[in-house]
Amino acid sequence: DTGVSQNPRHKITKRGQNVTFRCDPISEHNRLYWYRQTLGQGPEFLTYFQNEAQLEKSRLLSDRFSAERPKGSFSTLEIQRTEQGDSAMYLCASSQTSAGTNTQYFGPGTRLTVL
């Protein structure tokens, strides 16, 4: 499977704990995006990388959230001191800027439940 992969697919944690998610984009894609999606809503943009550079962070990305893409390939999203409001589906997408319309291809998501 050469699509976007995310791990883990599900994560249940207690409030106050730290969690880390991983995203492996399509190999030749230079852009990587993180979104958060709650039930019945469209994905909300969190941040994106072009290669290893983090070019934009949404205001939704509080100081408890940090994302990295150290070698321009996979990315991690860490949430510190989780809160119940962090419960959501976290989606990763990747795209190639040279491919015309720059279509984003999404991974299956990581569903986070904070108890």
Partner 1 sequence: KNQVEQSPQSLIILEGKNCTLQCNYTVSPFSNLRWYKQDTGRGPVSLTIMTFSENTKSNGRYTATLDADTKQSSLHITASQLSDSASYICVVSDNAGNNRKLIWGLGTSLAVNP
Enumerate residues 32-61 that contact partner 1 by CB under 8 A. Answer: 33, 40-43, 45, 48, 55-56
CB 62 to partner 1: min, Å = 18
Judged by beta carbon, residue 43 or residue 86, the one nearer partner 1 is 43
Task: Say which residue the tokens 């989606």 belong to.
Answer: 91
For 29, 64, 66, 82, 105, the CA distances from 3, given in Å and listed in that order, are 11, 29, 24, 29, 8
Beta-bridged to residue 70, according to DSSP, are none
Residues 7, 26, 74, 106: which binds partner 1 (CB under 8 A)?
106
103 contacts partner 1 (rule: CB under 8 A): yes
Cα torsion 90, 91, 94, 97 to 10°: value is -90
Secondary structure letter of residue 9 according to DSSP? S
Residues at the site binding partner 1, with contacts judged by CB under 8 A: 4, 31, 33, 40-43, 45, 48, 55-56, 89, 91-93, 95, 97, 101-109, 111
